[in-house]
A and B are shown apart, each in its own frame.
Chain A
């Protein structure tokens, strides 16, 4: 092990090809992962922040927040189901917003809510007041500013910031039910919902109940007029999210595989080059395990160093990328890349095991 470390320290150039390749792969993995997280979080924040374990949609909505609508009678029915502790209406309208001092429009999702999502205060009392997601700061939005939303230029005033509540990659604005209804009325009069009618309900279940049982009970109680799902299912049903995840994950897993191949090829060549040295080690009493441990240790350390350099490069790149690119570098993703890279490097270097085991100590002599 110590020999492996000393070689890395004294002959870093020898490992440069593998290091450079792994740095580039780390950068790729972090950027891809960051884009996936940015896209996913920017699409799902509003639903993930919902306080209820369940979300109730109209049965014909195909779990679309925009297509769904539940009338007042259904809302009341849901509230009466055993196991339901609290029900709150949730509405959204997607609009363009004119930000003072900017020529372009920011895309926003104006929400009206009854039960505050996580991290969002209670709905503002004043109609027209909203909390804005911090992501809108990139578009010049500031607290105290009045934005004009939709073609009717409905004015909303930002009274505070909230975090991680965006919806379908649009910055969210959170106001009272009245604010949301007024924004719809101004922008799309034909889409105005009757009083008491909401697109979706967020349902808080009573302690000790199983959310999926309560969901089934709600749908039974409404005679099949509703489709109630868990928060996670609601998130997964957002358009394109699953396809987005599977596409990015395919690329990410392929990149991990390439990393393992790079390490495998590099250390296979290095092992070939060192057969003489390993024979001497074995002649002096080193076991195959001791020799192989050195190979694996070197591969893992190279991966670790590559991760640090690649991580710094990705971090620097995140400042150079324009704000509309949803790159989000998270510590969870970094840990996943680090673990994945180190494990794949260890697996890649394991290709050399057979060769190390077959090194004949007798070849050290003569």
Chain B
């Protein structure tokens, strides 16, 4: 069973009388434990595809199946539950909660899930330890370096043991060296957990970390390799 399957997905936005096609009959399959890089210029539909795969947006047409569940017809409540239970996000601007420590940033996910606090605490400690942040778990984001913040964001994405991790431009704000380190970290964490991942990037130098690269232009998935 593929981790993610998009069948003829179309997403159309209305702007006045004009229709803007953000995704045009996009079909994509991401296998279990596969890492796919999604590459394309600004405005090509990368973010829309990621949002639809993560249940942040509903498609105008087509089918979205995540780990066997067709989420295309989910209502907003069901999509909220889906995001809480099944996917992990690493946001472009990291988006850590500034007044929470590294550990608490991971526990937020468990709070939303009403998970057992003790078990959640143990998982957060384990993830932070694996990410090399065991000694920094009590620090606020403002007290962490850019790379450390990125690692916390990665830990947060894995907190709910997702079947699919969606990563948005993880290196856009980093220099090449740090970008390489972050990508290595993400890939090693994804592989260590046998999780599927879609990584959106405009930086072609980062595509070699993925098993496969998919190009998107004007909402059309063009090629893969």
Q: Mark A275-305, 1 if CB is under 8 A from B, else 0.
A: 0110011111111001000000000000000
CB pair A2 B95 closer than 8 Å: no
Tell me the complex Cα distance, A365–B84, Å.
16
Q: Which of B63-118 contact A (CB under 8 A)?
A: 77, 80-81, 83-85, 89, 91-92, 95, 97, 99-100, 104, 107-109, 111-113
Given known contacts A285-B113, A362-B57, is B92 in contact with A6 (CB within 8 Å)? no
CB pair B109 A284 closer than 8 Å: yes
CB pair A285 B100 closer than 8 Å: no
| B81 contacts across to A, CB distance below 8 A | 285
CB pair B57 A285 closer than 8 Å: no
A10 within 8 A of B: yes
Shortest distance between the CB of B80 and any CB in chain A (Å): 5
Choose from A7, A282, A286, A365 the contact partner of B92 (Cβ within 8 Å). A365
Tell me the complex Cα distance, A366–B145, Å.
22
B40 within 8 A of A: no
Of B2-10, B27-35, B48-56, B210-218, the segment with at least 4 beta carbons within 8 Å of chain A is: B48-56
| B83 contacts across to A, CB distance below 8 A | 283-285, 361
Name A's interface SS. Answer: helix
Instruction: Give the residue name and chain of the B residue nearest to A290 (CB).
Output: B112
CB pair A285 B160 closer than 8 Å: yes
B139 within 8 A of A: no
Choose from A10, A11, A276, A287 the contact partner of B80 (Cβ within 8 Å). A287
Instruction: Give the residue name and chain of the A residue nearest to B89 (CB).
Output: A283
A265 within 8 A of B: no
CB pair B95 A280 closer than 8 Å: yes
A335 within 8 A of B: no
| B160 contacts across to A, CB distance below 8 A | 285
Q: Mark B160-187, 1 if CB is under 8 A from A, else 0.
A: 1000000010000000000000000000
Tell me the complex Cα distance, A276–B57, Å.
17
CB pair A285 B104 closer than 8 Å: no
CB pair B56 A365 closer than 8 Å: yes
Q: Mark A339-366, 1 if CB is under 8 A from B, else 0.
A: 0000000000000000000000110111
CB pair A10 B99 closer than 8 Å: yes
Shortest distance between the CB of B29 and any CB in chain A (Å): 22
Choose from A6, A280, A281, A366 the contact partner of B104 (Cβ within 8 Å). A6
A321 within 8 A of B: no
Q: Which of B140-175 contact A (CB under 8 A)?
A: 140, 156, 160, 168
Tell me the complex Cα distance, A362–B190, Å.
23
Choose from A2, A290, A365 the contact partner of B168 (Cβ within 8 Å). A365
CB pair B111 A2 closer than 8 Å: yes
Given known contacts A6-B104, A285-B113, is B91 in contact with A364 (CB within 8 Å)? yes
| B113 contacts across to A, CB distance below 8 A | 285
CB pair A366 B89 closer than 8 Å: no
Tell me the complex Cα distance, A10–B140, Å.
10
Shortest distance between the CB of A107 and any CB in chain B (Å): 58
| B47 contacts across to A, CB distance below 8 A | 365-366
| A290 contacts across to B, CB distance below 8 A | 112
CB pair B91 A285 closer than 8 Å: no
CB pair A281 B168 closer than 8 Å: no
Shortest distance between the CB of B44 and any CB in chain A (Å): 12
A3 within 8 A of B: yes
Instruction: Give the residue name and chain of the B residue nearest to A357 (CB).
Output: B76
Tell me the complex Cα distance, A364–B77, Å.
18
Tell me the complex Cα distance, A21–B89, Å.
39
CB pair B56 A283 closer than 8 Å: yes
CB pair A361 B112 closer than 8 Å: no
Tell me the complex Cα distance, A282–B95, Å.
12
CB pair A11 B50 closer than 8 Å: no
Shortest distance between the CB of B220 and any CB in chain A (Å): 18
Tell me the complex Cα distance, A364–B109, Å.
15
| A276 contacts across to B, CB distance below 8 A | 95
Shortest distance between the CB of B87 and any CB in chain A (Å): 8
| B92 contacts across to A, CB distance below 8 A | 365-366
Instruction: Give the residue name and chain of the B residue nearest to A3 (CB).
Output: B108
| A284 contacts across to B, CB distance below 8 A | 83-84, 89, 108-109, 112, 156
CB pair A285 B51 closer than 8 Å: no
Q: Which of A1-56 contact B (CB under 8 A)?
A: 1-3, 6-7, 10-11
| B51 contacts across to A, CB distance below 8 A | 362, 365-366
Instruction: Give the residue name and chain of the A residue nearest to B156 (CB).
Output: A284
CB pair A281 B112 closer than 8 Å: yes
Tell me the complex Cα distance, A281–B156, Å.
12
Tell me the complex Cα distance, A364–B156, Å.
15
Shortest distance between the CB of B12 and any CB in chain A (Å): 15
Choose from A3, A281, A286, A361 the contact partner of B56 (Cβ within 8 Å). A361
Would you mind naming 16 contact pairs between A and B with Cβ atoms under 8 Å apart? A1-B111, A2-B111, A3-B108, A11-B99, A276-B95, A280-B91, A284-B112, A285-B109, A285-B113, A286-B112, A287-B80, A362-B56, A364-B91, A365-B47, A365-B50, A365-B54
Closest 3 CB pairs of A and B: A285-B84, A366-B47, A362-B56
- Residue numbers of B with Cβ under 8 A of A are 47, 50-51, 54, 56-57, 77, 80-81, 83-85, 89, 91-92, 95, 97, 99-100, 104, 107-109, 111-113, 140, 156, 160, 168
Given contacts A284-B156, A362-B56, 7 further A-B contacts (CB under 8 A): A3-B100, A6-B100, A281-B108, A282-B80, A283-B56, A284-B84, A361-B56
